[in-house]
Amino acid sequence: MTNLIKNIAVLTSGGDAPGMNACIRAVVRTAIFNNIGVYGAIQGYEGLINNNLKKLDSRSVSGIIHLGGTILKTARSLEFKTDEGMQKAYNNLKANEIDALVVIGGDGTFKGAKEFSEKFGIKVIGIPGTIDNDLYGTDFTIGYDTALNTTIEAIDKIRDTADSHDRLFFIEVMGRDSGCIALRSAICTGAEAVLLPERDTTIEELVQELVAGSAAKKNSRIVIVAEGNKLGSAYEVSKMVKYRVQNYDPKVTVLGHLQRGGSPSAFDRILAGRLGFSAVNELLKGSTNCMVGLSGNNIIVTQLNEALTQHTFKLENDLMEMKEILSI
């Protein structure tokens, strides 16, 4: 195997996700094992633009495998979307003799990496890291499993109050325009209803479901509201329901950013290790403009072009049907 790569830069970009640190550790140590120097770009693409690059060694990633967030920090960089920003990033990579980039993030991060690579010929490998699980080319993204577990732990707690007071709760969960966290958390918590971006539900249909719950002698009711659903935020949906059924006194909880934090689950740590390790090995093989992902129990490689043009989370009608039957 010929190693033509002298130095690489690794960065985390977009929303932070639990397991990003475990992944940084895997990238750094796999690269060092193969005699490749590693720089960490601080705050995602901003670090490349501002030459905020930190040389990393094996010890700089000690004691981080269990930490949420990202030691490299992350950002949503507007400047990287401009020609000038990309040019500055390229100049800094050249000045530091960096030949390749490993980016850990979501679809936006991959879009940026693809454009950058096509424009300047820099080798890039993407590693899927986002709680949204909204990327084609992998069954799971780093951070999703932990976020789902955090979400269901929070909903279970709300269920205690809902049960004790015979209340109706609308709980808004993250996921941008993907309903993956919403549907899975609805199944895991026995939620009575779920509003998803991938499925149109009218307010009348939702009210009917809730009224049917009352008729079936349900005391508490939990409605999971995916942030990207078409009816509106949990507050808006709650108001619309209250307007139609006055005797409900609905409560609203927006789980928000607590879903992104915390120590990564065993699943996310293993996934992060495998994907970080594979990303560097792909670079060594000469691969570029691609992402590593998990399919079944195998690591697969998908070209960024393909990953970015395919839509990801499709409504699994079988899961939806099962959820509906199991919550009668």
Ligand X SMILES: O=P(O)(O)OC[C@H]1O[C@](O)(CO)[C@@H](O)[C@@H]1O
- Name the site residues for ligand X (rule: CB under 6 A): 15, 106, 130-132, 174-176, 227, 260
In angstroms, give the least distance from the CB of 132 to ligand X. Answer: 5
198 annotated as a binding-site residue = no
Rounded to whole angstroms, the Cα distance separating 161 from 146 reads 24
Rounded to whole angstroms, the Cα distance separating 273 from 271 reads 5
Q: Are 147 and 18 in contact (CB under 8 A)?
A: yes
Q: Give the interface with ligand ATP as residue ranges (CB under 6 A).
A: 13-15, 45, 76-77, 80-81, 105-109, 111-112, 115, 130, 132, 176
In angstroms, give the least distance from the CB of 226 to Mg ion. Answer: 15
- Residue closer to ligand ATP (CB basis): 45 or 140: 45
Rounded to whole angstroms, the Cα distance separating 140 from 129 reads 9
Q: In the chain, where do the E strands start and end?
A: 7-12, 37-41, 53-56, 100-105, 123-128, 168-173, 193-195, 221-226, 251-254, 290-295, 298-303
∠ Cα 152 156 159 (to 5°)? 135
In angstroms, give the least distance from the CB of 70 to ligand ATP. Answer: 12
Rounded to whole angstroms, the Cα distance separating 49 from 316 reads 41
Partner interacting with residue 109 (select from ligand X, Mg ion, ligand ATP, none; CB below 5-8 Å by kind): ligand ATP
Using DSSP's 3-state secondary structure scheme, residue 55 falls into: strand
Q: How many helices and strands, by DSSP H and E, does the chain display?
A: 11, 11
Partner interacting with residue 115 (select from ligand ATP, ligand X, Mg ion, none; CB below 5-8 Å by kind): ligand ATP
- Residue closer to ligand X (CB basis): 123 or 260: 260
Q: Which two tokens stand for residue 84?
A: 């000038």
258 annotated as a binding-site residue = yes
Which residue among 16, 132, 145, 268 is the active-site one?
Answer: 132
Instruction: Kindly write down the DSSP assignment for every residue of 64-127, as one continuous string.
Output: -TT--S-TT-----SGGGSHHHHHHHHHHHHHTT--EEEEEE-HHHHHHHHHHHHHH--EEEEE
Q: Are 234 and 252 in contact (CB under 8 A)?
A: yes
Amino acid at 231: L
12 annotated as a binding-site residue = no
Partner interacting with residue 126 (select from ligand X, ligand ATP, Mg ion, none; CB below 5-8 Å by kind): none
Residue found under tokens 């808006």: 236
Partner interacting with residue 45 (select from Mg ion, ligand X, ligand ATP, none; CB below 5-8 Å by kind): ligand ATP
Q: Which two tokens stand for residue 14?
A: 């977009």
130 annotated as a binding-site residue = yes
CB hemisphere CA count around 232 (13 angstroms): 11
- Residue closer to ligand X (CB basis): 130 or 220: 130
- Residue closer to ligand ATP (CB basis): 115 or 209: 115
- Residue closer to ligand ATP (CB basis): 133 or 229: 133
- Residue closer to ligand X (CB basis): 262 or 301: 262
30 annotated as a binding-site residue = no
Q: Are 272 and 20 in contact (CB under 8 A)?
A: yes
In angstroms, give the least distance from the CB of 175 to ligand X. Answer: 5
132 is catalytic: yes
Partner interacting with residue 111 (select from ligand X, ligand ATP, Mg ion, none; CB below 5-8 Å by kind): ligand ATP
- Rg (the chain; Cα; Å): 22
In angstroms, give the least distance from the CB of 293 to ligand ATP. Answer: 15
199 annotated as a binding-site residue = no
Partner interacting with residue 261 (select from ligand ATP, Mg ion, ligand X, none; CB below 5-8 Å by kind): none
132 annotated as a binding-site residue = yes
In angstroms, give the least distance from the CB of 69 to ligand X. Answer: 12
- List residues with catalytic annotation: 132
Q: Residues within the annotated binding site for ATP? A: 15, 76-77, 106-109
Q: Which residues are annotated as a binding site for substrate?
A: 130-132, 167, 174-176, 227, 251, 257-260
